[in-house]
Chains A and B, each alone.
Chain A
């Protein structure tokens, strides 16, 4: 199935760019997630691939062939939209039959194909139901079967799990992925949900303001973000602003505004540069500072970069997030397993630390760090 290349696509709506030199290569048979905040140009990107939106400039190539001017109906790139768009006057069977019918395939073959597709998505019992009689999950599966029966080899999924209940959404992730994989399709899945992208994708492309900021496997994108935005969008990060004071083989030392010295991964950025340091909240540790007691007037204190006081404790089920107020720095969050819930209470003094290798150093862009981190 085809390899897709987007080459410098540009598209603006009323002067507002939705694709700003968008370039991307999707491998044959790959399940790629395009991850980005609302309004980042995700949907426009999908629409340009299938041809529903015509780019102002740039090219779309399938297997090396320029398809920019090929009509939508000939591209064999099927869209699975957010609301599924099952045709209301048609039953499940007729919906799946849509493509075979308009393409006038042999009737017997079509019937077999449609039946096998419906079976594949476990909708045999509902084949004669109308879309309005189906649950969200059933609608989604029907839409998938309809797309699979269309002889397309590219599947474009526009937030396909969005309209589902939270629980079902989690369950369908793997089911959807394995169905697509079984059919050997090249799939591009657009989402704003980082967990969904991390769990489902072969590779993730992080998009922002109509550009791909980073593309890589889920692990790469999570662990080695290329920009502070990616660091914060794919798994929340604590971001610290400071100046590099020294660089050595093992780590980098950064001086923060309040005079604290923190350590991060080794970098090529020269000393003296203004930088942002990002550390995932799950990698941030906050050992408690022991209060002196009668028996131990000088307790052994944990090592850390700076100290703060516990402001809030949020119980999240499997995890707890503890927010620590640090003077002159602001709130620092730490995500811990839920068994640590009882260890902390508001007002406790803690010290903040992490393994230097897990913290990334970024040069600050000219727009400033707040602009860089904005989600819209």
Chain B
């Protein structure tokens, strides 16, 4: 209690508020921003090793091939997500139907699954990999197509969520007005709502693209199971493969090069995508009344909804849950000791990262939300997005180089992994809270202060209860994201075995049944944890 009293008292002093905020910014820059892009500096100091890679034409073609795969897969996946995400978001926001609540929950499921698990499940469903006794569809697809199918699953929820969030804020009045002016629904939506939609499209595109570009665990496992793990690469799996196969020191040059290339290309692409979507002119002037009427009436809207649902079921949900078919098999022998240890490590990392991000993310989110129009607000906003765009494997590698240059030795491996997880989940927490704070009129806090509340009380007693659900949503998002992450963990430390890393190693050892059962147990633990968390929070609610 007295701690809060002390914070209340201190928060009343403008100078101490500024000091705290400066400290938060410093922590953000030193612990998150700088380590994330340190590898670029490292490339300059290690130019010798890097230039050797340039001369090695075989290595160069592998690197460019991996980059081409990464970026083209991310591109294709994003385009598909937009195409199927728009009608789906539409349905979820504007339509009422039975079972909507369940569909809503189901859609988020892939986010709660570690991507490593998704990797196993997806390959099992589409293909019929050797060593697995469950029959899949047995469709022989190239590794490239398989990765597209896999990446759609964990990017799809991001796209639908981003689009729904914006759609919820667009009043249907505009469309209704256009329709009373005798536009068909299709024309009304295309010329009135879609242009208002861009912000959501930008967010969704960036999230999907970055997520696909970053993904390591699921991709690695899928390629491994298809038996092409050492010939077919994406950017992140290349880094993971090089590190495992040759070690950091031997592969330093190529790892630095591909990391820097991924970071720079991703940042460039981010800017280009943003500009493209904002500038892109939706054909506004022309209308095609007959076409508009054709697609707005009769069976067409129904057909569109049906296709959306079928896509969700066949491409996203069934492959996600396919791993549960293993429950029909005899239980594999499981090394419970190692599994529980890994689970403990994973929860520890995710827990610490989330708590850190909430404490340090809230001040940053408040600042961005309240001062968005100022230069410093804009700079901070862009900086927060940096770790979101950078592929996590490159980020992890960069982070390891940064802390490695300060402290040699692997004894701080766990700490470094935590710092890595803090970095890439930080934007998730901050963005969620920023969005919520922007919705809340600043006058609530102002009035509270004039009523005698200290600034910290105005936050904790007034603003906090209003935005609590967004903070929790951000925390859960960050927590699951951290639990599922493979690339950054592998790139930072060899010794820290989180669950996804443990599962990946089982797959590498061709121990599929154990990997599958471990995955199922992990998912069960995750859900129980989420459920418990929700219960605790709700109970706290009632008490207050």
Q: Which residues of A contact B (CB under 8 A)?
A: 50-52, 71-81, 83, 85, 87-90, 98-99, 102-103, 146-147, 150-152, 156
Contact call B465/A89, Cβ cutoff below 8 A: yes
Q: Given A71-B13, A78-B451, A99-B451, is A52 in contact with B446 using a C-beta cutoff of 8 Å?
A: yes
Contact call B450/A156, Cβ cutoff below 8 A: yes
Contact call A88/B466, Cβ cutoff below 8 A: yes
Contact of A151 among B441, B452, B457 (CB under 8 A): B452
Contact of B447 among A51, A75, A81 (CB under 8 A): A81
Contact of A72 among B441, B450, B466 (CB under 8 A): B450
Interface residues in B446-496 (C-beta closer than 8 Å to A):
446-455, 457, 461-462, 465-466
10 contacts between A and B (CB under 8 A): A71-B14, A73-B449, A76-B452, A78-B452, A81-B443, A81-B446, A89-B465, A102-B461, A150-B452, A152-B452
Q: B64 interface residue, CB < 8 Å from A? A: no
Q: Once the chains are docked, how many angstroms separate the CA of A77 from the CA of B443?
A: 15
Q: Which of B441, B449, B454, B457 is most buried by chain A, counting CB atoms within 10 A of its CB?
A: B449
Hey, which chain B residues are within 8 Å of A77, CB to CB? 450
Hey, which chain A residues are within 8 Å of B14, CB to CB? 71
Q: Given A71-B13, A72-B450, A74-B12, is A83 in contact with B441 using a C-beta cutoff of 8 Å?
A: yes
Contact call B448/A98, Cβ cutoff below 8 A: yes
Q: Given A89-B466, A102-B457, A102-B461, is A52 in contact with B444 using a C-beta cutoff of 8 Å?
A: no
Q: Once the chains are docked, how many angstroms separate the CA of A336 from the CA of B450?
A: 46
Contact of A73 among B441, B454, B461 (CB under 8 A): B454
Q: Once the chains are docked, how many angstroms separate the CA of A71 from the CA of B14?
A: 8
Q: Given A74-B12, A83-B443, A102-B457, is A52 in contact with B466 using a C-beta cutoff of 8 Å?
A: no
The number of A-B residue pairs with CB atoms under 8 Å apart is: 73
Report the minimum CB–CB distance from A62 to chain B (whole Å).
Answer: 14
Q: Which of B14, B452, B453, B461 is most buried by chain A, counting CB atoms within 10 A of its CB?
A: B452
Q: Which of A71, A73, A77, A85 is most buried by chain B, counting CB atoms within 10 A of its CB?
A: A73
Contact of A52 among B449, B457, B465 (CB under 8 A): B449
Interface residues in B72-96 (C-beta closer than 8 Å to A):
none
Q: Closest 8 CB pairs between A and B?
A: A79-B450, A85-B447, A72-B449, A89-B465, A85-B443, A150-B451, A71-B12, A78-B450
Hey, which chain B residues are within 8 Å of A89, CB to CB? 465-466
Q: Once the chains are docked, how many angstroms separate the CA of A89 from the CA of B465?
A: 7
Contact call B455/A98, Cβ cutoff below 8 A: no
Hey, which chain A residues are within 8 Å of B443, CB to CB? 81, 83, 85
Q: Once the chains are docked, how many angstroms separate the CA of A150 from the CA of B452?
A: 7
Contact call A99/B441, Cβ cutoff below 8 A: no
Q: Given A79-B446, A89-B465, is A147 in contact with B12 using a C-beta cutoff of 8 Å?
A: no
Hey, which chain B residues are within 8 Å of A88, CB to CB? 466
Report the minimum CB–CB distance from B502 to chain A (whole Å).
Answer: 42
Q: Once the chains are docked, how many angstroms separate the CA of A52 from the CA of B451?
A: 12
Q: Which of B12, B450, B454 is most buried by chain A, counting CB atoms within 10 A of its CB?
A: B450
**Cβ-closest chain A residue relative to B440:** A88
**Cβ-closest chain A residue relative to B445:** A85
Contact of A102 among B12, B441, B450, B453 (CB under 8 A): B453
**Cβ-closest chain A residue relative to B8:** A102
Q: Once the chains are docked, how many angstroms separate the CA of A150 from the CA of B455?
A: 16
Q: Once the chains are docked, how many angstroms separate the CA of A72 from the CA of B13?
A: 10
Known pairs A73-B12, A75-B450, A98-B451 / 5 extra A-B pairs, C-beta < 8 Å: A71-B13, A81-B443, A102-B453, A102-B454, A152-B451
Q: Which of B14, B449, B451 is most buried by chain A, counting CB atoms within 10 A of its CB?
A: B451
Q: Once the chains are docked, how many angstroms separate the CA of A147 from the CA of B449?
A: 11
Contact call A50/B461, Cβ cutoff below 8 A: no
**Cβ-closest chain B residue relative to A90:** B465
Q: Once the chains are docked, how many angstroms separate the CA of A152 from the CA of B450?
A: 9
Q: Which of B13, B446, B466 is most buried by chain A, counting CB atoms within 10 A of its CB?
A: B446
**Cβ-closest chain B residue relative to A52:** B446
Q: Given A85-B441, A87-B462, is A146 in contact with B451 using a C-beta cutoff of 8 Å?
A: yes
Interface residues in B5-30 (C-beta closer than 8 Å to A):
12-14
Q: Once the chains are docked, how many angstroms separate the CA of A74 from the CA of B11?
A: 12
Hey, which chain A residues are within 8 Å of B441, CB to CB? 83, 85
**Cβ-closest chain A residue relative to B444:** A85
Q: Which of A74, A75, A89, A151 is most buried by chain B, counting CB atoms within 10 A of its CB?
A: A89
Hey, which chain B residues are within 8 Å of A102, CB to CB? 451-454, 457, 461
Interface residues in B279-326 (C-beta closer than 8 Å to A):
none
Q: Given A87-B462, A89-B465, A102-B461, is A73 in contact with B444 using a C-beta cutoff of 8 Å?
A: no
Report the minimum CB–CB distance from A181 to chain B (whole Å).
Answer: 21
